[in-house]
Amino acid sequence: MAQIVNLNRRRKQRRRQEKEKRAEQNRSLHGLPKQARRQATTNRVRRDRKLDGKRLSGCEEQQVCGDGRAEEEER
């Protein structure tokens, strides 16, 4: 005699398995370990500090064109 199977239970089980498989793929694609996130943040902060340290003083008053000419501020 054949074994009785509850089809609703099987469908739910299959959906859960598919969902878990999709979640695993998303974790591998989008998830970063905590150490990698910290390192990325540290690198970003270090890069910003380095860039800020290379700013020329007095640049806030003058707008410099791409060709090196200074534009006058509108007042």
Q: Is residue 24 part of a domain?
A: yes
Q: Is residue 12 part of a domain?
A: yes
Question: Tokens for 29?
Answer: 């694609």
Radius of gyration of the chain measured on its C-alpha atoms? 29
pLDDT at 32: 83
Cβ-based neighbours of 32, under 8 Å, separated by 6 or more: 40
Q: Is residue 41 part of a domain?
A: yes
Q: Is residue 5 part of a domain?
A: yes
pTM, full prediction: 0.41
pLDDT at 58: 66
Q: Is residue 58 part of a domain?
A: no
Q: Is residue 9 part of a domain?
A: yes
Q: Is residue 36 part of a domain?
A: yes
Full domain range(s) for residue 4: 1-49
Q: What is the DSSP letter of 61?
A: T
Number of domains making up the chain: 1
Written as tens digits, the pLDDT of the chain (75 aa) is 788 889 999 999 999 999 999 999 998 888 888 898 899 999 999 999 999 888 887 655 555 555 555 555 554
Contact 20, 28 (CB under 8 A): no
